[in-house]
Structure 1
Amino acid sequence: MRILSSRLLAALAATAFAVSTSASADTLKLATGFPTGSVAAELAELLAKKTEELSGGDLKVKVFALSLLNLKETPPGLRDGIADLGYVLPPYYPAEYANSNLAADLSMLATLGDDQSGAPAAVAGAMSEYVFFNCPDCQKEWKQQNQVYLGTGASGIYILQCRMPVITLADAKGKKFRSGAANFGRWAEAMDGIKVSMPGNEIYSALEQGVLDCGMYSTAELSNLQLFDVTKDITRRVPGGLFAGIALNNANRDVWQELPEAQRRALIDASAYSTAFFTYEYVRRGDENLEKAKAMGISVNEPAADLLDASREFARNDVKTIVETFTNDYGVENAEAKVKAFRELLAKWEGLTAGMGDDLDGLTKLFAAEIYSKVDASTYGMD
C-alpha cells in the first residue's frame, strides 16, 4: 500500500477540518479568541442575533469561542478564510496595521483627568469614525490583509493587576509588566520596569509562574481570562489609557464581496449594537469584578502621588514618541497630521458621549447615527 506524504496528510486534515466547521452560503463563521462567558464571546453572540434579525433571517452567524482561532491566529486566519468574521487585535501585528495602531496608541490622552468614566465610549467612537472615514491608509492596510473593517470597541481603563503591591514609583522599578500594546510597553520602561509582550491567552500561566509581576489591562479581564486566582494586588488609575486596538468583527473580504448588499447592510447595522455593547459591558463588568476582587481579599489600592504624576507625565510626552516611532519604524506617512486628526475626533466624541457611560441604548443609537448609518453598504469594502 502506498504511504501518503506528510504534506498530503496535512492537506486532507485541513480539508476535513474545514468541512466540519464550514458555513453555508448564508451562515458565516465568527472566530473570537476569548472563551464562552467573556465580553468578546457575548459580543459575538449579540452580533449573530442582530445580523439574523436585521437581515430578516437571510444571514446567520455561527460563533466559535476559543475553538477555531486564538487571539494571535485570528488576523491571518481571517485573511486566509478559515473564519468569515473575526475579533482582530491589530497591536499583535504592528507593521501590518501601523496606521490603525497609531491612533490606538493615543488612548492615554483620554484618561489624563481625574474623571475617566467617559473615556471608553469616547475612544470607541473616535477610533471607529477615524478608521471608517478619516484614514484611507488604515483602509488600505485592511484591504492588504483581505479584511473589511467593521468597527472598534474600547476596553475599560487600564490599571495594574499584580502578584504584589505596586503603589509607588519605587515599587514599579524592576517589575515585569505584561504589555498588550506598544504604548503600554513604553510606560513600563518609563517607570523603570520591564515590558513583557504576550497574547492575552498566556497571561494566567505567566502570572501563576512568576514570569510576570503585573498585568496592565482592565478589571473586566479578571473574569474574561479567569485571572482572579493569580491576582493579589490591584492599583487603580495607572497606567491609565485603555485598549483601543480592537477590530471587533472584521470580515473576510472575499466573503464580504459575495454577500448581497442587504446582507452587508445588516452586518454594518448590527455592528453598531456590538460596538456599543462591547464598550458598555467592558466597563460594567470591570466595575462588578472590582467589587468581587475586594470581597475575595484582593487588595485594591490608589497609586502614590509619585507614580500617578510620573504616569501622566509619560502620557503627555509619549505623543512625540508615537509620531517618531510610527514614522521611522513603520513608515507611516504624515503621522503628525494623523495624530492631530484623531485628537480632534477624540475631543468631539468626549462631548458626544458625556454622561452616557451607563446608557447602552443611548450609546447604540449614537454610534448608529454618527457612524454606521453613514457607511454605504453598496460601495464599502467592494473595491
Structure 2
Amino acid sequence: MNETRRNILKGLAAAPALAMSPNPLWAQAAGELKISHQFPGGTATEGDFRDRLCRRFSAEIAKRSNGALKGTVYPGSSLMKTNAQFSAVRKGALDMTLVPLSYAGGEVPETNIGLMPGIVTSYEQAVSWKKAEIGKALSNILADKGVLVVSWIWQAGGVASRVKPIVEPEDAKGLKVRGGSREMDMVLKAAGSTVLTLPSNEIYAAMQTGALDAAMTSSTSLISFRLEEVGKALTTGRGKTYWFMFEPLLISRAVFERMPKAQQDLIMTVGAEMEAFALEGAKADDQAVAAVYQKAGGKAYDMTDATVKKWQAIARDTAWKDFAGKNESCARILKLAEATL
C-alpha cells in the first residue's frame, strides 16, 4: 500500500469525533461536491434508493459541517454521460459518482470483479468484502488509479425479458441479452445468447424497439427504469441469485486530498453510515420487484440452489478463467474473491 493511501486510512479511526466537533478547518475548504449518477431522480424519502442515498449523504455532510461542505446531486446522467463518470472522477473532473464499478472495466480491468457472475451469491458474503483481503486489495487498486470508495453498496441481480423467462442457462439460447459486464456477457454467449452492451438507463428503449430481448440488472433498476412495461417475464434476485453488482459511492482522490482532514473524515464517516441504508434498500427492492411485475400483468420466477450452481459452473469455465488470465493483478483479485465463497 502506498504512503498516501495508508495515511488516508489511518485517520479514519478518529472520524466520528472529528466530524461532530467544531473545527476551524471547515473554513479552509468551504465548497460544493458534485455527485453524478445515471439513475432516476427523486427526493430524500421517495424514489430510487441510490438517488436517495446520495441526497441523504449530501444533507448529512452539510449538517455536520455547519454548511461548509455541501453536495449537489445530478441524477439521470444530467451532469455527465454514464460511461464518462468513472474516468472523470479519476481525473478530478468530477467530484463523486455512484456507479456500477464494472463500467470501469475498460480502464481498470480489475474492477470487473464487481459484476463477476457466480463469485458473490449472498448479501452476507458481499458485505464481508469491505473488511476482507479482497476489499483491501480492490480499494488499493482504485486508490492507485485516483478513486476512493466512500460507500460499499451491493445489489442482487435479476432478469427482465419480453420473450420468455430466463431462469436456467438454456433459457437464454437464441435471445439478445444485455449482461452488464464483459464477464456476464461471456457467460451468456456460452449459454447461446447474442449480447448487447449498453448502460442500464438505455435498456428500456432497446427492449421497446425489439433490439433487446432481455436484460440483466439490479432489482432497483428493474423498478426504476420501468422495465415491467417492456418485459413481462421477471427472474428475481430474491433468495437465490448467481450474480451481485458492486455499485459504490466514489470520490476523486485528487479532490479528496485537497480537503482538510476534518472534511475527509466526515465524508468517510457518513459514507460508511450510508451502507446500512443501502443494504436495506437493496433487499427491499428484491422483494418489491416481483409485485411490480405481477401488477403489470407479468410473471415472476425465482431461482434454486441448483440453478445458481449451473450458472456458476459456466462462469468458472469462461469468465473466471478469462479474468484471471488478463494479468497477475486480476488473478490475485479473483483468488481473494474466491476465498470469501
With structure 1 as the length reference, what TM-score do the two structures score?
A: 0.70
Unmatched segments (≥5 aa) in structure 2: 1-28, 42-46
Counterpart Cα distance in 1 of 2:91 and 2:276: 28
Q: Secondary structure at the match of 2:196?
A: strand
Please list the CA deviations of residues 197-216 of structure 1 after superposition, one character each: whole Å capped at 9, or x if unmatched. Answer: 11111100001011111111
Deviation at 1:126, TM superposition (A): 0.4
Q: Which has the larger radius of gyration?
A: 1
Report if aligned partners of 2:232, 2:296 keep a CA contact under 8 Å in 1: no
Q: Secondary structure at the match of 2:219?
A: coil
- Partner of residue 241 from structure 1, selected from 232, 243, 251: 243
Write out aligned runs for 1:263-302 (5 A): 263-302=263-302
- Partner of residue 81 from structure 2, selected from 67, 70, 73: 70
Tell me what 1:122 maps to: 125
1:196 counterpart = 2:196: yes
Tell me what 1:55 maps to: 65
Paired-residue identity, %: 20
Counterpart Cα distance in 2 of 1:168 and 1:140: 38
Counterpart Cα distance in 2 of 1:305 and 1:155: 18
Tell me what 2:159 maps to: 160
Q: Assess, with a 3 A threshold, how the Cα gap between structure 1 residues 131 and 86 changes in structure 2: closer, same or farther.
A: farther
Counterpart Cα distance in 2 of 1:304 and 1:343: 21
- Partner of residue 107 from structure 2, selected from 91, 96, 115: 96
Please list the CA deviations of residues 303-342 of structure 1 after superposition, one character each: whole Å capped at 9, or x if unmatched. Answer: 6999666324224444xx42443433xxx32544332323
Number of aligned positions between the proteins: 304
Write out aligned runs for 1:1-383 (5 A): 25-36=30-41, 37-66=47-76, 67-101=78-112, 103-106=113-116, 108-111=118-121, 119-127=122-130, 129-130=132-133, 133-135=136-138, 138-143=141-146, 147-156=147-156, 158-166=157-165, 167=167, 170-236=170-236, 240-244=242-246, 246-248=247-249, 250-302=250-302, 310-318=310-318, 321-328=319-326, 332-344=327-339, 346-347=340-341
Q: Secondary structure at the match of 1:134?
A: helix
Deviation at 1:232, TM superposition (A): 1.0
Counterpart Cα distance in 2 of 1:132 and 1:210: 39
Counterpart Cα distance in 2 of 1:229 and 1:307: 27
Counterpart Cα distance in 2 of 1:203 and 1:209: 10
Deviation at 1:98, TM superposition (A): 1.6
Unmatched segments (≥5 aa) in structure 1: 1-23, 112-118, 348-383
Q: Assess, with a 3 A threshold, how the Cα gap between structure 1 residues 184 and 53 changes in structure 2: closer, same or farther.
A: same
With structure 2 as the length reference, what TM-score do the two structures score?
A: 0.78
Please list the CA deviations of residues 163-203 of structure 1 after superposition, one character each: whole Å capped at 9, or x if unmatched. Answer: 02135555421101101112211221121111211111110
Report if aligned partners of 2:219, 2:236 keep a CA contact under 8 Å in 1: no
Q: Secondary structure at the match of 2:36?
A: strand
